[in-house]
Amino acid sequence: MDVPAVQLTRETFGNIPPSSVIAFYVIAAASMLVFCWGVWRRWKLWRQGRPVAIREILLGNFARLKPRLGRLLKEGLGQKRVRGRGLASWAHIMMFAGFMMLFLGTTLLEVDHLAGKVSEKLHFHHGWYYVIYEGALDVFGLLFILGISLFLWRRMRRPSSVGHRASDWTALYLFLGIGVTGYFVEGLRIVWDQPEGLALWCSPVGASLAKLFGEMSEPASRSAHLVVWWVHSLMVFGFFAMIPFTRLLHFITGPANLFFSTPSLGQLKPISIEEVEETGVVGVSEIAHLDQQQLLSLDACMECGRCDDACPAFASGKPLSPKAVVQDLKGLMQATANGESVGLHGDTIQAETVWACTSCNACVTACPVRVDPLGLLFDLRRDRAAEGALAGSAANSMRQMQTKGNPWGFPQAERLAWADGLDVPLASDHPNFEILWWVGCAGSFDRRAQKVTRAIAKLLIKAGVNFAVLGPNECCTGDSARRLGDEFLFQELAEKNHSTLKQHGVRKILTQCPHCMNSLTHDYPQFGDQFEVVHHTEFLQQLIDNGKLTAPERNGSVTYHDPCYLARVNGVHQSPRDLLGDGVSEMERRREKTFCCGAGGGRMWMEEEPDQRVSVLRAKEAIETGAETVAVGCPFCLTMMTDGVKSCGSGAVVEDVAENLAKRLGL
């Protein structure tokens, strides 16, 4: 390049008369005021909720702050949770990257301008910095426009999961206008301001546009530049002013929610009797019962519809859309602040919606900004359960749990009936066991699941494992009670189990039920218990790895259905596949992205309309693989998938991974 380095710059506000510069700053200030006022109004809405210890979060120890900052960096700046949705993800990433760079570039330009006012020496917008700056902004500007164009194209096809409001179109066209006029401002400036060679180096897009205006005289291009510069600036100010009043609010609330939310996969906040006595509140019956972070999260929702796309209740036609739950509560938050007398239960959220959730956690993991529709539903359920609104078969199962220690209502004395003819040691007779096998209610009482239990027992005995079971001293973990909202029944059962486990000095637990596994892993530690809990598929694989069992080749084709609480919530998805051996025919939705069988969240104990069965949807996916066997790793999935496969008229066999292995070993 033959241009001296000192000329590698451009004047900020070049060609803009002083009166326009003053007007620019006045309008900028007005736009910022509108922005701050809008955010302040939302802030007041969030403050209706139960307080969150913001000071403690921000000023507490760094170890607790670190994961929050990490989420902000990885999931906010790195867009980690946005990825994986094809075109929509790419469009968002391009738009986000473009926006961030243009915002940063404009801020740096202003800093340089103000620094220059203090001293000429403080100018840094020149030389190679200038070349890199201009080049980078040119490229990221293109990305920005491309991202918006993709979003517009997608929106024109009106996907049902995406909201369609006039303000969404306005925001997108405004963005497009800002991007395009930005290039026109640059192109018109280059006509009189820069030698072509330099412009092509620094601003290839702007320089190409400048060729379009090549015939223009300098005065004409200067006049056009001033006009387009104003259009561009007014659009930018309009954009900032509209942020708090449109879906664009997620620019602020999204990162804020990523920072303030607490990951809750598989967990529920405990409630204490003392707390209830003090507040008189169990769960959520009005908007002020949600905490401030939950209210902030309602504003973080940008209605992308990812939660709906992942939701089995929504897919099966039940009256539950996690996105609508979030948006309806957001509407209630505003209405309550306006003094309108709108109720929560019945008015805003219907009872059928509250009970339709299978607590599969798919919405929790799908949301790019960590909104937690499941956490909201759990809180609503707690209120309904406390009000005695849970009726029918589920209420009956809860009663049986309370009085008999299991949801089926079988006598506890029959807990070991499944072990007839097998040498299964009881913890009370065999205190020196290495691992306690938590059989669970389904494994103990459900006829079909008992066969799985027997298969596991034979495998453990063959491998020479030093185990024991609690037999009649085992009681339901209370997982379903907790997830149906009956926190105090759960705590009662947990307390009973806690003293049994303590009495036997249990530290390591083997379980065949992912719901028991989750409860023992995530719920029980909240009450002082800490165990190493292992699912039977992991344990059996360890026995094979240690040479205590072999895994003969499998005959016939098999597909594997990942239970939500095993794969998505607790990350166990490889060991079942390893146990099944090579050539598992995979369903599209698998591992952490599995699709529910319909039994979680206490739905196991509820009647389902025949045309709204989640199990049928999942069974169809399994059947489509063409596999002869559908393997599972959960007693609830076993029941649901068996029903689903039967309803579809398929002859596929549904069996637990352990049964499959035991068969291959001739046990």
- Site of interaction with ligand SF4 (CB under 6 A): 301-307, 310-313, 320, 322-323, 326, 357-363, 366-367, 369, 371, 373-374
Tell me the Cα Rg of the chain.
31
The stretches of 301-407 forming alpha helices (DSSP H) are 306-310, 312-315, 322-337, 351-356, 362-366, 373-386, 392-404
DSSP 8-state class, residue 344: S
The structure tokens listed for 144 are 């920005």
Nearer of residues 202 and 377 to ligand SF4, judged by Cβ: 377
> Least CB distance from residue 619 to ligand SF4, whole Å?
17
Nearer of residues 305 and 425 to ligand SF4, judged by Cβ: 305
> Least CB distance from residue 383 to ligand SF4, whole Å?
17
Those residues with Cβ within 8 angstroms of residue 631's Cβ, 6 or more apart along the chain or in another chain: 558, 559, 560, 561, 576, 580, 654, 655, 656, 657, 660
Nearer of residues 326 and 456 to ligand SF4, judged by Cβ: 326
Those residues with Cβ within 8 angstroms of residue 133's Cβ, 6 or more apart along the chain or in another chain: 105, 108, 125
> Least CB distance from residue 103 to ligand SF4, whole Å?
22
- Please check whether residue 647 is in contact with residue 446, taking contact to mean a CB–CB distance below 8 angstroms: no
Nearer of residues 314 and 438 to ligand SF4, judged by Cβ: 314
Place of tokens 């426009």: 145
Nearer of residues 112 and 168 to ligand SF4, judged by Cβ: 168
> Least CB distance from residue 387 to ligand SF4, whole Å?
21
Q: What is each CA distance from 610 to 42, 321, 613, 641, 648, in whole angstroms?
A: 43, 19, 6, 14, 12
Measure the CA–CA gap between 218 and 575, rounded to whole angstroms.
72
> Least CB distance from residue 241 to ligand SF4, whole Å?
23
Letter string b/e over residues 187-221, b meaning 16 or more CB atoms within 10 A of that residue's CB: bbbbbbbbeeebbbbbbebbbebbeebeebeeeeb
Measure the CA–CA gap between 485 and 382, rounded to whole angstroms.
4
Nearer of residues 64 and 269 to ligand SF4, judged by Cβ: 269
The structure tokens listed for 522 are 């995530």
Nearer of residues 38 and 305 to ligand SF4, judged by Cβ: 305
Sheet strand arrangement including 558-560: 558-560, 629-632, 653-656
Burial class from Cβ neighbours inside 10 Å (0-12, 13-18, 19+) for residue 570 reads buried
DSSP 8-state class, residue 294: H
- Please check whether residue 57 is in contact with residue 296, taking contact to mean a CB–CB distance below 8 angstroms: no
Nearer of residues 362 and 465 to ligand SF4, judged by Cβ: 362
Nearer of residues 202 and 357 to ligand SF4, judged by Cβ: 357
> Least CB distance from residue 95 to ligand SF4, whole Å?
16
Nearer of residues 179 and 601 to ligand SF4, judged by Cβ: 601
**Residue among 237, 373, 351 nearest 303 (CA):** 373
> Least CB distance from residue 661 to ligand SF4, whole Å?
30
Taking each helix axis from N to C end, the angle separating 292-300 and 18-46, rounded to the nearest 10 degrees, works out to: 130
Q: Count Cβ atoms below 10 Å from residue 338 Cβ, excluding itself.
A: 9
> Least CB distance from residue 356 to ligand SF4, whole Å?
7
Nearer of residues 15 and 264 to ligand SF4, judged by Cβ: 264
> Least CB distance from residue 325 to ligand SF4, whole Å?
7
Nearer of residues 425 and 602 to ligand SF4, judged by Cβ: 602
The DSSP-derived string for 572-590 is --HHHHHHH-S-----SS-
> Least CB distance from residue 419 to ligand SF4, whole Å?
35
Nearer of residues 330 and 577 to ligand SF4, judged by Cβ: 330
Nearer of residues 371 and 506 to ligand SF4, judged by Cβ: 371
Nearer of residues 141 and 266 to ligand SF4, judged by Cβ: 266
Measure the CA–CA gap between 353 and 628, rounded to whole angstroms.
36
> Least CB distance from residue 299 to ligand SF4, whole Å?
10
**Residue among 530, 511, 512, 508 nearest 521 (CA):** 530
Q: Which of left, alpha, beta for 596 (phi over 0: left; psi -120 to 50: alpha)?
A: beta
> Least CB distance from residue 258 to ligand SF4, whole Å?
11
DSSP 8-state class, residue 603: G
> Least CB distance from residue 342 to ligand SF4, whole Å?
21
> Least CB distance from residue 295 to ligand SF4, whole Å?
14
The structure tokens listed for 432 are 């020196």
> Least CB distance from residue 364 to ligand SF4, whole Å?
7
> Least CB distance from residue 172 to ligand SF4, whole Å?
17
Measure the CA–CA gap between 480 and 490, rounded to whole angstroms.
8
Measure the CA–CA gap between 149 and 140, rounded to whole angstroms.
14
Measure the CA–CA gap between 492 and 218, rounded to whole angstroms.
84
Measure the CA–CA gap between 517 and 496, rounded to whole angstroms.
17
Nearer of residues 65 and 351 to ligand SF4, judged by Cβ: 351
